[in-house]
């Protein structure tokens, strides 16, 4: 099925697909002109646009059509397609933001694991040509996660609550300092 394509997924086998039927809305919706990430980045409506944190060379945004609760994306500010287009400082920042984001998700949503990955190009399942890294928290048995909502779309209220939780988590961790790496593993 179309909505099982892309990240996370891969070939059928060891990794179970997450059931995310509301993603059909995304797949069926008309694609806006231009790059979504470039346009959201310059707008000053971070809450509406689900932008949680802005770094020096990149930013962190929630996926409006998540594969799972807390599905985030780390996006370089500059519109790049391939990894090698990233300058050294941008690549470094991207990894720093990945590090920061997984810590925030761990401290707020307590996942048991993560899928972290990059889809490149339409054939790779990427919705945008602007390079971005997906962070999908995983919980044991979460392949049945979203049906509890009993809807084929994610209720905005629900996204808003998660936004608030994560937003607070980012502020808290940034205040504390991000040097504390590692920590207890699940
Ligand atoms: Zn872009």
- How do residues 73-125 score in pLDDT, each as one tens digit? 999 999 999 999 999 999 999 999 999 999 999 999 999 999 999 999 888 88
Query: Across the chain, what does the average pLDDT equal?
Result: 81
Q: What is the CATH number of domain 2-176?
A: 3.30.428.10
Query: Which of 53, 130, 132, 134 is labelled catalytic?
Result: 132
Please state, in angstroms and rounded to a whole number, the distance separating the CA atoms of residues 39 and 158. 24
- Whether the CB-CB separation of 9 and 117 falls below 8 Å is answered with no
**Which region among 66-75, 127-136, 150-159 has the lowest average model confidence (pLDDT)?**
150-159
Structure tokens at 108: 């707020």
71 Cα: distance to centroid of ligand 1 (angstroms)? 19
132 Cα: distance to centroid of ligand 1 (angstroms)? 10
25 Cα: distance to centroid of ligand 1 (angstroms)? 22
pLDDT tens for 127-147 read: 889 999 999 998 887 765 444
Structure tokens at 89: 């400082």
Structure tokens at 15: 């990794």
Phi-psi label, residue 138: left if phi above 0, alpha if psi -120 to 50, beta otherwise: beta
With CA atoms as reference, report the closest residue to 94 among 125, 44, 135, 38.
135
Q: What residues contact residue 128 under an 8 Å CB cut-off, 6+ apart? A: 35, 36, 37
Structure tokens at 54: 């802005």
Which ranges constitute the DSSP H helices of the chain? 23-28, 36-42, 88-109, 156-176
């Amino acid at each position: 099925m179309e909505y099982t394509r892309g990240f996370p997924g891969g070939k059928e086998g060891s990794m179970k697909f997450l059931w995310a039927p509301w993603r059909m809305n995304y797949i069926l919706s008309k694609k806006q002109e231009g790059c979504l990430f470039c346009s959201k980045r310059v707008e000053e409506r971070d809450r509406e646009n689900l932008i949680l944190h802005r770094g020096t060379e990149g930013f962190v945004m929630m996926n409006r059509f998540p594969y799972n609760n807390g599905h985030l994306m780390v996006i370089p500010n500059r519109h790049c397609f391939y990894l090698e287009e990233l300058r050294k400082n941008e690549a470094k920042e991207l990894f720093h933001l990945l590090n920061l984001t997984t810590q925030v998700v761990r401290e707020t949503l307590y996942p048991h694991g993560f899928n972290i990955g990059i889809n490149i190009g339409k054939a790779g399942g990427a919705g945008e040509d602007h390079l971005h890294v997906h962070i999908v928290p995983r919980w044991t048995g979460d392949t049945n996660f979203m049906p509890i909502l009993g809807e084929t779309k994610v209720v905005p209220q629900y996204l808003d609550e998660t936004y608030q939780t994560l937003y607070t988590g980012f502020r808290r961790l940034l205040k504390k300092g991000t040097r504390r790496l590692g920590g207890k593993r699940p």
